[in-house]
């Protein structure tokens, strides 16, 4: 007890000494959440039956200030005289606030209670000092406005969400003041260690009176909807209670709970059926889930919660030991429901599964399976049809939608409203291609009763591409029968192969006659350079395409034979006159020398030569022409240096005429004749 002196003063009001000790202990345990009575304190004696509350009913509101509490009488196997102790308080976490009344009748009148919620409990004591506790009830004086929650069916077993070696994590739904929503609602939390009381049962009354405060481990008030408690005794069972309290002191129980520190929680439940967001589930489905594991080896039980939404979901089975549940009553057709599983161990540990949903309605078509080609089939003909099988338990006429493509997530609808379970493509499929397909079955029922089942995405791979011969090369340039083609030219063509993996090799044939074509080179490009052709010559050419495969598979194609004629020989300038005589720089030259030189024309043109000479290299004042490669000079002076040069002219028309001029040469005549 938190206020021992106050407790002793209350005890002093009771005349019987044995009842004195009983009363003091009851103050310590009034709001403890442990179950059962406190039997066996004193001599061995059979306990009386549990007192049952009658009035005011639990949770009653708008009660007057002087309520009368009533309960059913307890029965005692040994017909002991029974004494009733009524405990009542408006504070759920402080033992010192508990008030008591002792009675031998089954009713008690309370005087001048303050407004707010009051909690009361009846304890019965027999001649052997055995105490049996009744349930803790509440009533509210002067108001009907108690805290509300949007989750009225919340299961207090779920308050414990995690357990540590020396603590616990608690969570609960929010409550609010319906008439004064701006006012804060707080939560009174009490956690008790019932093992303290158990150890005290064998003690004397003096020890009990000195240790009664040990029963209370945690007394806390919070405005939050979750709390983590730490520093609790390890490997110890605790019992707790949680109450929501408004600013006007009206209260309602959030719930009672128990846990054992150090307890390892079960594994998370794994659901099997109905699948999440499943539709057209039978009205009486068989819920199935995998059994959970518990590292402590605790025996596990399972509760299933089902409802039209999470806030109103109710527990449909408690402490199931198998992973299966069949509802006793069918669900309503056309409605959606949500469900989850909570796995519980024997030490207050809960593992809460996630929420899944399902809709009840007409059974969905089932057994949708591929027939041709089978899933993952390979080497499938490019002209295959698609066939599948599907069942409908109600034998509705089914229609099908077919989706098809090369990317699983991007399948296109290729057919709708198919009345047969087969589809034939109009054109062959691609070779060596993986395809994906999916069928949707529709039972065609009206409105919400309509059931549609979409099958898995299946796949198959078509046969490898056969080796096709390359297309016949198409010659491009030079154009067929083209003329005036340069003697250095490029041949071009185009060619295709239906086997994209093939690398084509081209052999280029040329010749001066159709029957005399020979290979002049190979290339993997669609062009080939020719050089050094003859002028004004007709050439023939063709290209052979080879797919480069091994000889047993190799395929080739040959183009048509085309021709072209090279350009006429162009007019080239004559050679530059050279090899002069007398040699350049010669001396002692006769006074009547015969000038000579060498000069050819690439085109074989008859050349005309213009000879220019003089006694200075800047003024070649004398000129003469000749068609010979020499020219005689006369009248030269002795001991004189002369300069000369030759220009060769091919004598073409002026627009085409070309010439070449030698450098200036020099010689010196003899000194004396």
Q: For 503-540, how does the pLDDT look when each residue is reduced to its tens digit (9 = 90+)?
A: 999 999 999 999 999 999 999 999 999 999 999 999 99
**Is 467 domain-assigned?**
no
Q: Which pLDDT does position 446 carry in this prediction?
A: 77
- Structural domain ending residue among the three candidates 462, 494, 512: 462
Residues 614, 652, single domain; the answer is: yes
Residues 352, 307, single domain; the answer is: yes
CA–CA separation, 350 vs 265, rounded Å? 6
Beta bridge partners of 665: 644
**CA separation, residue 625 to residues 433, 543, 603, 633, 647 (Å):** 84, 55, 21, 12, 9
Residue of 44 and 251 predicted with greater confidence: 251
From the CB of residue 66, how many other CB atoms can be counted at a distance below 10 Å?
A: 11
**Statement: residue 329 has pLDDT above 80:** yes
* Per-residue confidence band for 667, with pLDDT thresholds at 50, 70 and 90: very high
* Per-residue confidence band for 211, with pLDDT thresholds at 50, 70 and 90: very low
Residues 482, 623, single domain; the answer is: no
- Structural domain ending residue among the three candidates 360, 377, 405: 360
Q: Which residues contact 551 (CB under 8 A, 6 or more apart)?
A: none
Q: Which residues contact 233 (CB under 8 A, 6 or more apart)?
A: 166, 193, 217, 261
Residues 165, 288, single domain; the answer is: no
Residues 425, 528, single domain; the answer is: no
CA–CA separation, 51 vs 103, rounded Å? 13
Residues 295, 313, single domain; the answer is: yes
Residues 76, 163, single domain; the answer is: yes
Among 241, 229, 335, smallest CA distance to 280 is for 335
**Is 469 domain-assigned?**
no
- Structural domain ending residue among the three candidates 566, 586, 615: 566
How far does CA 258 lie from the centroid of its chain? Answer: 40
Q: Which pLDDT does position 23 carry in this prediction?
A: 52
Quick one: average pLDDT of 263-274? Answer: 93
* Per-residue confidence band for 320, with pLDDT thresholds at 50, 70 and 90: confident
Residues 397, 500, single domain; the answer is: no
Q: How many domains does the chain fold into?
A: 5
Residues 486, 613, single domain; the answer is: no
Residues 482, 523, single domain; the answer is: yes
**CA separation, residue 184 to residues 241, 244, 405 (Å):** 20, 10, 60
Residues 81, 221, single domain; the answer is: yes
**Is 571 domain-assigned?**
no
**Is 573 domain-assigned?**
no
**Is 572 domain-assigned?**
no
Q: Which pLDDT does position 365 carry in this prediction?
A: 81
Q: DSSP E strands: which ranges in 429-583?
A: 434-442, 452-454, 458-462, 474-477, 482-485, 489-494, 505-511, 518-523, 527-530, 538-546, 556-558, 562-566, 578-581
**Is 17 domain-assigned?**
yes
Q: Which pLDDT does position 250 carry in this prediction?
A: 95
Which CATH number does the domain housing residue 249 bear? 2.60.40.10
**Is 265 domain-assigned?**
no
Quick one: average pLDDT of 46-51? Answer: 92
Domain, as residue range, for 221:
4-260
Spatial contact of 110 and 101, defined as CB atoms under 8 Å apart: yes
Which of 126-135, 314-323, 527-536 has the highest average model confidence (pLDDT)? 527-536
**Cis amide linkage into residue 478, ω under 30° from 0:** yes
Residues 492, 624, single domain; the answer is: no
Q: Which pLDDT does position 213 carry in this prediction?
A: 44
Q: Which pLDDT does position 198 carry in this prediction?
A: 42
Percentage above 70 pLDDT, the chain = 90
* Per-residue confidence band for 216, with pLDDT thresholds at 50, 70 and 90: low
CA–CA separation, 242 vs 221, rounded Å? 10
């Amino acid at each position: 007890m938190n206020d021992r002196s106050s407790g002793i003063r209350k005890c002093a009001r009771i005349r019987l000494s044995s009842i004195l000790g009983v009363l003091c202990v009851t103050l310590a345990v009034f709001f403890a959440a442990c179950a059962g009575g406190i039997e066996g304190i004193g001599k061995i004696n059979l306990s009386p039956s549990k007192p049952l509350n009658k009035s005011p009913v639990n949770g009653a509101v708008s009660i007057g200030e002087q309520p009368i509490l009533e309960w059913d009488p307890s029965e005692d196997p040994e017909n002991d005289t029974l004494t009733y102790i009524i405990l009542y308080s408006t504070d759920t976490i402080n033992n010192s606030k508990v008030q008591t009344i002792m009675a031998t009748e089954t009713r008690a009148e309370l005087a001048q209670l303050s407004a707010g919620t009051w909690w009361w409990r009846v304890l019965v004591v027999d001649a052997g000092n055995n105490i049996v506790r009744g349930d803790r009830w509440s009533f509210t004086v002067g108001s009907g406005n108690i805290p509300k929650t949007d989750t009225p069916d919340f299961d207090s077993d779920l308050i414990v969400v995690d357990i540590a070696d020396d603590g616990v994590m608690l969570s609960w739904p929010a409550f609010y003041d319906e008439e004064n929503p701006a006012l804060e609602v707080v939560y009174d939390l009490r956690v008790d260690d019932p093992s303290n009381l158990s150890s005290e049962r064998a003690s004397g009354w003096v020890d009990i009176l000195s240790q009664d405060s040990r029963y209370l481990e945690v007394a806390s008030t919070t405005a939050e909807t979750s709390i983590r408690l730490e520093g609790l005794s390890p490997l110890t069972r605790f019992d707790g209670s949680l109450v929501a309290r408004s600013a006007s002191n009206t209260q309602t129980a959030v719930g009672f709970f128990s846990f054992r520190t150090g307890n390892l929680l079960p594994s998370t439940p794994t659901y099997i059926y109905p699948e999440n967001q499943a539709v057209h589930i039978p009205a009486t489905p068989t819920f199935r889930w995998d059994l959970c594991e518990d590292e402590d080896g605790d025996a596990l039980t399972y509760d299933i919660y089902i409802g039209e939404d999470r806030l109103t979901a109710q527990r449909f089975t408690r402490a199931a030991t198998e992973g299966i549940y069949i509802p006793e009553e069918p669900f309503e057709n056309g409605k959606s429901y949500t469900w989850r599983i909570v796995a519980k161990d024997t030490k207050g540990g809960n593992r809460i599964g996630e929420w899944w949903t399902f809709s009840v309605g007409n059974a969905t078509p089932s057994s949708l399976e591929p027939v041709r080609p089978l899933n993952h089939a390979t080497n499938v003909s490019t002209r295959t049809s698609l066939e599948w099988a599907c069942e409908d338990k109600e034998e509705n006429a089914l229609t099908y939608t077919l989706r098809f493509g090369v990317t699983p997530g991007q399948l296109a609808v290729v057919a709708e409203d198919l009345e047969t379970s087969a589809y034939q493509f109009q054109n062959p499929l691609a070779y060596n291609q993986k395809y994906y397909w999916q069928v949707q079955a529709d039972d065609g029922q009206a409105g919400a009763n309509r059931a549609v089942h979409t099958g898995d995405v299946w796949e198959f791979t078509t046969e490898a591409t056969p080796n096709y011969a390359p297309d016949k090369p198409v010659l491009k340039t030079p154009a067929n029968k083209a003329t005036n083609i340069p003697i250095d030219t490029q041949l071009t063509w185009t060619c295709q192969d239906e086997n994209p993996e093939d690398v084509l090799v081209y052999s280029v044939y040329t010749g001066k006659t159709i029957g005399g074509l020979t290979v002049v080179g190979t290339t993997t490009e669609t062009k080939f350079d020719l050089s050094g052709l003859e002028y004004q010559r007709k050439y023939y050419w063709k290209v052979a395409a080879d797919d480069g495969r091994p000889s047993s598979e190799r395929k080739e194609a040959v183009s048509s034979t085309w021709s072209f004629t090279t350009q006429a020989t162009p007019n080239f300038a004559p050679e530059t006159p050279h090899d002069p005589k007398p040699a350049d720089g010669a001396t002692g030259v006769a006074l009547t020398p015969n000038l000579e030189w060498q000069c050819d024309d690439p085109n074989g043109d008859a050349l005309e030569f213009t000879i220019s000479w003089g006694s200075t290299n800047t003024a070649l004042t004398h000129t003469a022409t000749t068609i010979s490669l020499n020219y005689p000079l006369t009248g030269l002076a002795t001991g004189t240096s002369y300069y000369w040069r030759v220009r060769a002219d091919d004598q073409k028309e002026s627009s085409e005429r070309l010439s070449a001029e030698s450098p200036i040469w020099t010689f010196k005549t003899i000194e004396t004749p």
